[in-house]
Structures are given as C-alpha cells and as structure tokens.
Amino acid sequence: MRLNCPCCGPRGVEEFTYRGDATVRRPAPDAAASDWVDYVYLRDNPAGWHRELWYHAAGCHAWLVVTRDTRTHEIADVARAVDIARQDRENAGS
Ligand SMILES: [Zn+2]
C-alpha cells in the first residue's frame, strides 16, 4: 500500500504509522464519565470506507487524515489533519 502524502508525494506505507480513528471527537472537559469512557475505549470496526489518522514518521512528520476502504485498502483521499481541523472549525462557526 502506498500513501500520497500531500507534502512528500507517494510513499510506501512502511514510512507511516497508523494512529487510529479520525472521526472520534474529544468530549468537553465537563462531559459525563460515560462519554469519556466511550472516547477512550470504544471504537467502531467498519467494513468499508473509513477516515483514519496516519503519521508520516519517516518523512515530513505530518499528521494525515486518510480515507480508506478497509476491505480493499483503496485510498480515496489523503489530507493534512491540520487542514481538516481548520475546515471543521470554519464549518462549526458558520
Ligand atoms: Zn510527508
């Protein structure tokens, strides 16, 4: 599998580290304990398209959001996580 890093271009997956589900959102500091338990311990195991966090450890050290089909490993999109976070903040503010 190869990932097309937005900073470095196409690279072998061995340069990257999988860092988890990119769709999980941290609860508010005063959220219920059950919300924190869900945040820390519960993850879906989807068969199909999924947004994942990857870290380019042997490259530019960028955090990436990869949209990948977990059944075929087809990759639809790779974007810098900082750009996704900025986009989410702008959408939340409008
Ligand atoms: Zn990179």
Q: Which amino acid is at 8?
A: C
9 Cα: distance to centroid of ligand 1 (angstroms)? 7
Q: Report which DSSP code applies to 36.
A: H
50 alpha carbon – ligand 1 mean position (Å): 20
From the list 24, 75, 74, 70, the residue with the least C-alpha distance to 47 is 70
Reported pTM: 0.86
Domain map (residue ranges) of the chain? 2-93
Q: How far is the CA of 16 from the centre of ligand 1 (A)?
A: 9
| Distance between Cα 69 and ligand 1 center (Å) | 21
**Would you write out the chain's pLDDT as a tens digit for each of its 94 residues?**
999 999 999 999 999 999 999 999 999 999 999 999 999 999 989 999 999 999 999 999 999 999 999 999 999 999 999 999 999 889 987 6
User: CA-to-CA distance for 25 and 34, rounded, in angstroms?
Assistant: 14
Q: What is the architecture, at CATH level 2, of domain 2-93?
A: 2-Layer Sandwich (3.30)
Tell me the Ramachandran region of residue 20: left when phi exceeds 0, alpha when psi lies from -120 to 50, beta otherwise.
Answer: left
Sequence-ordered list of residues with C-beta below 8 angstroms from that of 18, at least 6 positions apart, any chain: 52, 53, 54
